[in-house]
Amino acid sequence: MSSPTPDHARLITAIVDTLVPADDNGPGGSEAGVDAYISGVVRDNEAMRGIYEPSLDALDAYATSSAGAKFADLDLEGRTKVLKAIEAGEAEGGFIPDPATFFAILHHNMLEGFFGDPQYGGNVDFAGWKLVGYRGVKLIQTAADQAVNAAPDRPLTGRREALEVALAELAKESGEAVAAK
Amino acid sequence: MSERKDSCDVVVVGLGATAGIAVGPLTQAGLKVVALEAGGRHDGDSRYVADEIGNDVRNEWGMSKTNLEVPTLRGSEDDTAAPPFARMPMINVVGGSALHSTSVYYRLFPWHFRERTETIERYGKDHLPEGSSVQDWPFGYDELEPFYTKVEELLGVSGKAGNLNGEIVPGGNPFEGPRSKEYPLPPLRQTGFAEMMGRAATDLGLHPYTGAAGIRSQPYKGLNECTYCGFCSFGDCWRGAKGVTSLSGIPEAEASGNLDVRLQSRVVSVETRADGRATGVTYVREGKEYFQPASAVILSTFTYENVRLMMLSKNEHHPGGIGNSRDQLGRNLHLHNLVIVRGLFEGQELNNNGGTAAQTSTIDDWDGDNFDHSGLGFIGGTSMTAVVETKPISLARVVPGHVPRWGSEWKSYLKENGRSIGELILQIEQIPYTEHRVDLDPTAKDPYGMPINRTTTRHRESDYKAFDFLTEKGRDWLKAAGASETWVPEMYGMLSVQPHCYGATRMGEDPAESVIDASARVHDAPNIAVLCSCTMPTAGGRNPTLTAQALAWRTAEKLVEDWDEVAG
């Protein structure tokens, strides 16, 4: 059976839209691809699969027992309450290795999916980088780029594009140096 | 049965930051050296350039070895060790973990070499934290100074002298020990944030300077300079601008014809004979076992693997492991209490995402014995550096404790303040205790079925006092620069698995309190030398690599000087 299962994938989507709700400050977790990133982690990493699969089941079981419905069927307030109980280690059930540690792993992975390079499937349309004001990867940084209260005006770029841009800049410089001679 | 290879003069275990230095003097003296490296070569590829997930999160370069043998951790001998939740990765590659280091390149102060004696002389014996086993080095700063200079010149270290032959020089660090030469390259460019912090430090009567970096500020010996990309720490340098031995040191040694580098070669034990001396090492490459005979052995992996290999090599000549005839191996471990102090500069665009964490404004007013410790209850301190290079995933972790860590309120805080958070790095010196140690975990094993390390260490009362005092000084500095709020994130308590890891094969004159002698050779196996920060009796509040490399150069020269005796 593929991992994550369709049920688990839906649950991951509901979780990331709770951790990162869509609001006035930008898109929610699923629009930013955070669920796709976490599903990728579960799919590709055996150790993480061993943590996520039982813990996701435990999370749904805890939502059902404490709030009367599966996690994805709760409203934002209900979901938030469930996740807070897990974060605080107060939830019961078969979390691996325990509720609080599972939440910490989930939280780490959420940050990776929201703020990691888009190459890894998350941070779609640079949603995370726009939120925190990260200016994108730029391999050749000038003094002006690093000045306080300067606001560099440039398009956001991920790592692969940034490498191409930087190599082109170096090639141009060395071409000019040759031409000058 | 292992296949026997042709004999060599010196076999080196791990061709990283320290061995990459040592192979220079050895091969220049005409010794035939075989280097066994568990990883491969970097070869200037760009796979992990500017890659926070590939490097910081997944440590792709450590997949072949270090990720598979992360030591377990416990607080005392009564506890059961467990995998650490937080760890800072090491990697396996020619040139070593220095390839993904921040490359801040500080020397120790003369005080650190005489830490016990100086403390007793100034404050009395009662000022030494109770139960600590801190000792002086078997030699002083002056002995190591020429080797610091040699390493700085080989790699192209960038910085500004503060003390040239005893004369205090403006612009440098006035607290440093006397240097015989100016740095080969000028300091890295300061960022706007570093300049701002430098001005605030001066206003406070402190002594800011631009930190020294093992990163080239200008082209040097045909190698490239830094372009300030912002992905130094745990990252690959896209321009090859770091001063690493895979670019300086190892190539020259290979060109001499006296260095034979064998990659993907994992050493599993050091073999010895009846008089305790090493006869060579056994290693595994592509599933096949080999014996490499040698007249001398250099153990130059990192602290954890050096100790592990010495313990795994126990035999009838060394029943407790090599260097452990007096139960000293693995003991006197000490780390840095790595702490980040943050400040919110409301409404300011700090532009701290680019650049390298080595583009600092640094103060040493709170390191070593540069301030009066009377009544403070601890010794030593920390360098304090205002840094940039806040990568995006780590940027999202920085919120103060009163802000939720997820949800709409968290998003709102990041949106408002994400560009306005500045930080200081503190690496608070811990001092050694006999009970703080590395040994073999009784149950945890690597995928090959060999025991992995277990570390035993905890915070002592003096560590809490140092933390309270020094983080307060950090907050004062940030506030003086305009921070409206300061906080210290949860990282306190990070007694973990980290690349600032000292002791465990301590250097000393007395075999009852050390593992290796003043020439860095094992007391009970004198043709085995040990390199790495694990040899250092004290850490200082400063990054380890430069000192470990200066020691490597000195150790190699001593081996050559004493070769007849060593090889006999």
Is A1 part of a structural domain of the chain? no
Q: Which two tokens stand for residue A60?
A: 């749904």
Domain of B210 in residue numbering reads as: 3-567
Which residue do the tokens 């990260």 mark? A134
CA distances (Å), origin B470, targets B1, B115, B174, B464, B474: 56, 19, 20, 10, 6
Q: Which residue of B has its CA nearest to A147?
A: B192
pLDDT digits 0-9 by tens, B414-447 = 999 999 999 999 999 999 999 999 999 999 999 9
Burial string for B332-369 (b: 16+ CB within 10 Å, else e) reads bbbbbbbbbbbbbbeebbbbbbbbbbbbbbbbbbbbbb
Residues A162 and A122 in one domain: no
Average pLDDT of chain B is: 95
With a CB cutoff of 8 Å and minimum separation 6, the contacts of B383 are B106, B211, B362, B363, B364, B367, B426, B427, B540, B541, B542
Residues 83-102 on A with a CB inside 8 Å of B are 83, 101
CB atoms B351 and A150 under 8 Å? yes
Is A19 part of a structural domain of the chain? yes
Residues A73 and A159 in one domain: no
Is A115 part of a structural domain of the chain? yes
Q: Which residue of A has its CA nearest to B389?
A: A146
Residues A85 and A127 in one domain: yes
B414 close to A (CB below 8 A): yes
Residues A69 and A101 in one domain: yes
Residues of A within 8 A of B397 (CB-CB) are 111
Domains contained in chain B, number? 1
Residues A64 and A21 in one domain: yes
d(CA B542, CA B366): 11
Residues A97 and A141 in one domain: no
Give this prediction's pTM.
0.96
Contact B326, B512 (CB under 8 A): yes
B89 close to A (CB below 8 A): no
Cis peptide before B184 (omega within 30 of 0): no
d(CA B404, CA B304): 37
Q: Of the residues A102, A119, A134, which one is the last residue of a structural domain?
A: A134
- Comparing A101-105, B209-213, B326-330, B487-491, which segment has the lowest mean pLDDT? B487-491
Residues A39 and A121 in one domain: yes
Q: Of the residues A134, A151, A172, which one is the last residue of a structural domain?
A: A134
pLDDT digits 0-9 by tens, A132-180 = 999 899 999 999 999 999 877 788 999 999 999 999 999 998 888 777 7
Instruction: Give just the sign of the alpha carbon dihedral B352, B47, A115, B101.
Output: negative
Domains contained in chain A, number? 2
Q: Which two tokens stand for residue B416?
A: 């408002």
The one-character DSSP state at B22 is: H
Domain of A46 in residue numbering reads as: 6-134
**Res. B47 pLDDT band, cuts 50 70 90:** confident
Query: Does the complex come out with an ipTM higher than 0.90?
Result: yes
Q: Which residue of A has its CA nearest to B397?
A: A111
Residues A70 and A146 in one domain: no
Chain B closest CA to A86's CA: distance in Å?
A: 13
CATH label of the domain that carries residue B230 = 3.50.50.60
Residues A128 and A153 in one domain: no
Residues A122 and A154 in one domain: no
> Does pLDDT of B495 surpass 70?
no
Q: Rounded to 5 degrees, what are φ and ψ at B421?
A: -110, 120
**Res. B490 pLDDT band, cuts 50 70 90:** low
Is A47 part of a structural domain of the chain? yes
Residues A140 and A152 in one domain: yes
> Does pLDDT of B162 surpass 90?
yes
Q: Which residues pair with B525 in a beta bridge?
A: B522
Q: Which two tokens stand for residue B75?
A: 């607080």
Residues A41 and A119 in one domain: yes
pLDDT digits 0-9 by tens, B219-254 = 999 999 999 999 999 888 999 999 999 999 999 999
3-state secondary structure of B472: helix
